[in-house]
Amino acid sequence: MASSSSSSTSGGPIARGSRRRRLVLKLSQKDTLQALFQQNPYPGIATRERLARELGIAESRVQVWFQNQRRRRLKQSRSPSANMRQDGEGAPGEARRKRTAISPSQTRILVQAFTRDRFPGIAAREELARQTGIPEPRIQIWFQNRRARHPQQSARGPGNVRARGPGGASATTAPAPEDRRAPPAVHSTSPPLGPSQTQESMPPLAAAAPLGAPTFWVPGTASGVCVGQPLMFFVIQPSPMALQPSEKPPPPPQVAVPWAACSPADTAPWQPGPGAILPPLQPETHIRRRPESPVAEGTAPLLEPQPHPPSLPRSTSLLDELLAATGILETQAPSPEPGADAGVHPALPDPPSFLDELLEATGLGSSQAPSPGAAADAGAHPALPGTPSFLGQLLEATDIAASQAPSLGPYADAGAHLALPGSPSLQDELLAVTCIPGSPGPSLGSSPVIPGYHPALPGSPSLLEEIMAASSIQDTPWSSPRAAADEEGVEAILEAPLREEDYQALLDMLPGSPGPRA
DNA sequence: CACCTAACTTAATCATAGT
DNA sequence: ACTATGATTAAGTTAGGTG
């Protein structure tokens, strides 16, 4: 079974798209992960997200780390007989991430992409994420499942199913050797900055953390901005107050209430022993990332012109990044083509412009958009009576995302679930949306300020501390937040790549203008 | 250059939404 | 119950960062 893959692999599927930039975990981050791993090698989504926030990395990265760690552990002790999954087993209550609902229109886009390339690289995935509004990690999973269930689908080419050879998909044509890395020159892609990295998971704001809750520093402004991938939205952060646990009844019971509402008392379900402490949390939010690189996989030129929109010479300077993040660059990019997005759509049978999709999904069109203030409220999700606010709908439909540190931050993810209107999770969505991104990420070496962690909050025990206390692991003198602080500091900015047209259209739809694009 | 390990893949399986 | 499909896991591979 498995063996098969290896050999052919060389052709590597991965080769082309280029992987996501390798994350280098800091010591303190490793310590935290390690500590938690000891307690529960099979953390559920809530724990992973929480951890992700604490560490300032994407939830998906946390998941991968646990996978690798389990493997490592296993390998080391050749005989795992003892423990494998039993331990974590009983985690009733939190386990998996909620199933992500993918709408038909989103599926369409994905399928299209799939036919073009079954092994999209990070850049392509991110691009898809932007287009669909689905978090990149979910897209990655989607492709995995798709490959497994649709061997060769499009291939009409009789004959072979070369499936796995990763190259199978596109490689066929090419000799391969070269594609292995990224395209040669054209966009330098990621190397320089961490381009693609954006945040996936958001660091929720820090408002008031309940006890153990980790606090995050909130980017300067009180208000966070959430940007939707395709659309740019500015959401006003519902002030922390809104989240106040005390009474704010966020109606949605099912919604995971941000830590604020949850009592820390609930501890993690899974756990065994020593008292786990992690409170359940989970505000889910998602953030989308920026249009980063273009890239493309050009491997399948056959199907399409596949315009690599990517060609945008994205400069790697921080400034550029920032601009890009804020959308400034993007929109006014001189480039003849807006490129990025356009690139992908070409293939779509009918250009499902995002806007169209949006409308379709939301089915609304007339509501008057709430003023910003209203938006804010929406954020607080006052109570979804059933009529989702325009903003809500939009957000939901677009799966808004908030992104954070544009430049370098490699983390983030979101637990997003998209849902079509009507779906019960609307509230969830809104909630998620309202969570503003908070913390910044790590990775910039230059800012001495703003630690990703709770640097100095004396009163709030960090997750690690809790764990340590509980498990008595104490190898790391982690008490000093200092370390972590080293680098982080980016402020959160949001980015929002959105096509001019869409943006425009959106504007049109907004309150005052009834007619969506002409 | 070797080693460690993040990132990625397949295959199997569990879980859930929709019928 | 059945089907479709998203999520998770194990096991193996690839490749980036470091010493």
Q: For position A466, what pLDDT does the model report? A: 61
| Residue that wins the pLDDT comparison between A71 and A440 | A71
What is the mean pLDDT of the segment spanning A57-71? 96
Nearest residue (CA) to C1' of C12: A2
Q: Is A265 a residue whose pLDDT tops 50? A: no
What is the mean pLDDT of the segment spanning A418-422? 35
Q: Is the CB of A13 under 7 A from strand B?
A: yes
d(CA A422, CA A348) in angstroms, rounded, equals 26
d(CA A370, CA A379) in angstroms, rounded, equals 12
- Protein-covered nucleotides of chain B (CB closer than 7 Å) are 5-13, 15-18
A75 confidence band (pLDDT: 50, 70, 90): confident
What is the mean pLDDT of the segment spanning A255-267? 34
Q: For position A295, what pLDDT does the model report? A: 35
Q: Is A254 a residue whose pLDDT tops 60? A: no
What is the mean pLDDT of the segment spanning A264-272? 38
Q: For position A95, what pLDDT does the model report? A: 74
Q: For position A78, what pLDDT does the model report? A: 63
Q: A424 CA, C3 C1': separation in Å?
A: 22
Q: Is A507 a residue whose pLDDT tops 90? A: no
- E strand or H helix that includes residue A64: helix A59-76
Nearest residue (CA) to C1' of C5: A145
Q: Residue A259's closest CA among A28, A382, A435?
A: A435
SS3 A228: strand
Q: For position A206, what pLDDT does the model report? A: 31
Q: Is A503 a residue whose pLDDT tops 90? A: no
Q: For position A331, what pLDDT does the model report? A: 33
Tally Cβ neighbours within 10 Å of residue A515.
9
Q: For position A462, what pLDDT does the model report? A: 59
CB A94 within 8 A of CB A47: yes
Nucleotide in closest CA–C1' contact with A23 = B6
Residue A201 gets which letter from DSSP? B
Q: What length does chain A have?
A: 518
Q: Residue A331's closest CA among A354, A307, A312, A352?
A: A312
Nucleotide in closest CA–C1' contact with A194 = C16
Q: Is A410 a residue whose pLDDT tops 50? A: no
A3 confidence band (pLDDT: 50, 70, 90): very low
Q: For position A135, what pLDDT does the model report? A: 96
d(CA A437, CA A445) in angstroms, rounded, equals 20
DSSP per-residue codes, A393-416: HHHHHHTEE----TTT----B---
Q: Is A11 a residue whose pLDDT tops 70? A: no
As given in the structure block, the two tokens for residue A168 are 């199978």
Q: Residue A223's closest CA among A399, A325, A372?
A: A372
Q: For position A24, what pLDDT does the model report? A: 94
What is the mean pLDDT of the segment spanning A295-300? 35
Q: A24 CA, C17 C1': separation in Å?
A: 8
Place of tokens 């206390």: A469
Q: Is A129 a residue whose pLDDT tops 90? A: yes
What is the mean pLDDT of the segment spanning A406-426? 36
Mean residue pLDDT of chain A comes to 49
d(CA A402, CA A50) in angstroms, rounded, equals 17
d(CA A26, CA A43) in angstroms, rounded, equals 20
A467 confidence band (pLDDT: 50, 70, 90): low
What is the mean pLDDT of the segment spanning A182-195? 33
As given in the structure block, the two tokens for residue A326 are 């804020």
Prediction pTM value = 0.50
To 5 degrees, how large is the angle CA A112–CA A115–CA A119?
A: 110
- Protein-covered nucleotides of chain C (CB closer than 7 Å) are 5-18
A252 confidence band (pLDDT: 50, 70, 90): very low
d(CA A332, CA A463) in angstroms, rounded, equals 43
Q: What is the pLDDT of residues A306-355, one digit of tens each?
A: 333 333 333 333 333 333 333 333 333 333 333 333 333 333 333 343 33
Place of tokens 């190898």: A475
Q: A355 CA, C12 C1': separation in Å?
A: 43
Q: Is A395 a residue whose pLDDT tops 70? A: no
Amino acid, single-letter form, for residue A186 = V
What is the mean pLDDT of the segment spanning A21-31? 93
Q: For position A66, what pLDDT does the model report? A: 96
> Residue A27: which residues within 8 A CB-CB, separation 6 or more?
A476, A483
Q: For position A74, what pLDDT does the model report? A: 87
What is the mean pLDDT of the segment spanning A131-141? 96
